[in-house]
């Protein structure tokens, strides 16, 4: 649309005076631009949404003042409103840039300037937006294992702005980890994995609070370690931890994002005790395998990229759960085969006789079962 040049252009100070006298002030910048701040009392509506939303904000006889970043888009917005029959429209010259430079009152957005820039590609998605980004910022995620699965998951959750990441792992970095555990570095062989991970994550996103717990998850500490978190990511490398995690997440009603890898294949699912229809880990694996049946950790290999793929799927499910968007992988087991390059989805219904979550199941306390290996 051609700009209508008879649109009145006013200074920010005049806009403020009119706003106080009853004019409606609309900031037509995009959500991500407004995240860092807007003129006090202004209503934020992206230019593209203005025609559809204006009627709910002001009648055609209202005085409407439009503002943007520098004064161009607000002219177009004013012309759009003129076309729609709004007779009293004006555009703020210099936009928010001049408004804030002249020290006129502003409202801080939900995000500070660093966050508004850092997460701008999230803010462009209506499904995330500044509200969703704030949810991510308030979220607390526990990652059990800072290894192959925990590495990609932690990196992407930190990058996404998840406010608190609790890393639980009692191992030290070994050279043989570096083929897949990309949180760590050659120079940090011998360092605690939680500390090595904290260094990497802080370098990526200093605003994320990383809680390093250099401990093994046990019956005695599992509830205190997990309570208060919104999501738990299972990146464990042994069965005892997985069964403990499952029991605790069920009792604490925290969604558990399960992932496992073996050689060239992996699987992912979400066990969410808050949902009546959700299966649990024991619907899939009712009993721990006997030690002699479990794969030997030292001998079972894994393609280095495999935990990368599975861990990122776990991060994806975690972010969806925090935002409350999309369909979580509840009641479905997603199986990945790297050699065939196929994803297969299996239905995973709740087992009515599950020893973990069925009506007949009885909880008799957490148990430290014999140490056996689950996956490399």
Tell me, yes or no, if 297 is annotated catalytic: yes
Compare residues 198 and 282 and give the one whose CB is closer to Zn ion.
282
Residue 286 C-beta: closest distance to Zn ion, Å: 8
Based on the shown chain and the rule CB under 5 A, indicate whether residue 280 belongs to the binding site for Zn ion. yes
Asked whether position 356 contacts Zn ion by CB under 5 A, the answer is yes
Q: Is 357 in the site for Zn ion (CB under 5 A)?
A: yes
CB-based contact 116:104 (threshold 8 Å): no
Closer by beta carbon to Zn ion, 193 or else 282: 282
265 Cα distance to chain centroid: 25
Residues 73, 213, 282, 320: which binds Zn ion (CB under 5 A)? 282
**DSSP H or E segment with residue 201:** helix 193-204
Alpha-carbon gap, residue 60 to 372, rounded angstroms: 72
Q: Which residues of 64-92 are buried (b: 16+ CB within 10 A; e: fewer)?
A: bbbbbbebebbbbbbbbbbeeebebbbbb
Q: Considering the rule CB under 5 A, would residue 184 count as an interface residue with Zn ion?
A: no
Element counts in the chain: helices (H) and strands (E): 14, 15
Which of 136, 257 has the CB closer to Zn ion? Answer: 257
- Residue 162 or 226 with smaller CB distance to Zn ion: 226
**Which of 68, 280, 297, 357 is labelled catalytic?**
297
Measured CA angle at 171 (ends 240, 227), to 5 deg = 55
CA–CA distance, 71 with 99 (Å, rounded to integer): 11
With CB under 5 A as the contact rule, which of the stretches 124-132, 142-150, 277-285, 364-372 interacts with Zn ion? 277-285
Is 27 strand, coil or helix? Answer: strand
Return the closest-CA partner of residue 165 out of 148, 143, 144.
143
Q: Which of 45, 283, 310, 348 lies at the binding interface for Zn ion (CB under 5 A)?
A: 283
Q: Which stretch binds Zn ion (CB under 5 A): 66-74, 177-185, 197-205, 352-360?
A: 352-360
Smallest distance from the beta carbon of 271 to Zn ion, in angstroms? 8
Task: Answer yes or no whether residue 284 interacts with Zn ion by CB under 5 A.
Answer: no
Task: Give the residue numbers annotated as catalytic, written as ranges.
Answer: 297
Q: Note the residues at the interface with Zn ion (CB under 5 A).
A: 280, 282-283, 354, 356-357
């Amino acid at each position: 649309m051609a700009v209508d040049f008879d649109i009145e252009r006013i200074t920010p100070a005049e806009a403020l005076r009119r706003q106080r006298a009853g004019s409606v002030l609309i900031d037509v910048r995009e959500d991500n631009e407004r995240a860092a701040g807007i003129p006090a009392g202004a209503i934020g509506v992206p230019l593209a949404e203005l025609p559809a939303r204006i009627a709910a904000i002001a009648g055609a006889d209202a005085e409407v003042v439009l503002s943007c970043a520098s004064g161009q888009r607000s002219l177009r917005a004013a012309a759009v409103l003129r076309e729609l029959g709004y007779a009293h429209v004006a555009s703020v010259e210099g936009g928010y840039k001049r408004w804030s430079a002249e020290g006129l009152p502003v409202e801080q957005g939900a995000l500070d300037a660093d966050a508004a820039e850092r997460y701008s590609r999230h803010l462009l998605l209506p499904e995330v937006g500044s509200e969703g980004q704030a949810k991510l910022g308030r979220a607390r995620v526990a990652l059990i294992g800072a290894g192959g699965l925990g590495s990609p998951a932690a990196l992407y959750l930190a990058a996404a702005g998840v406010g608190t990441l609790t890393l639980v792992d009692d191992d030290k970095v070994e050279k043989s980890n570096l083929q897949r555990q990309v949180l760590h570095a050659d120079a940090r062989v011998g360092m605690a994995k939680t500390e090595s991970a904290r260094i990497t994550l802080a370098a990526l996103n200093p605003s994320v609070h990383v809680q390093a717990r250099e401990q093994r998850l046990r019956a005695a500490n599992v509830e205190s370690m997990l309570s208060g978190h919104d999501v738990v990511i299972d990146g464990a490398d042994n069965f005892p931890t997985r069964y403990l995690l499952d029991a605790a997440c069920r009792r604490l009603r925290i969604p558990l994002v399960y992932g496992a890898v073996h050689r060239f294949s992996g699987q992912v699912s979400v066990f969410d005790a808050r949902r009546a229809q959700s299966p649990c880990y024991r619907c899939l694996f009712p009993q721990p395998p006997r030690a002699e049946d479990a794969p030997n950790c030292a001998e079972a290999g894994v393609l280095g990229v495999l935990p990368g793929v599975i861990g990122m799927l776990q991060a994806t499910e975690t972010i969806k759960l925090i935002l409350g968007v999309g369909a979580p992988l509840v009641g479905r087991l997603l199986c990945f085969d790297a050699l065939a390059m196929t994803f297969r989805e299996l239905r995973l219904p709740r087992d009515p006789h599950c020893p973990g979550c069925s009506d007949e199941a009885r909880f008799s306390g957490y148990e430290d079962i014999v140490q056996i290996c689950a996956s490399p």
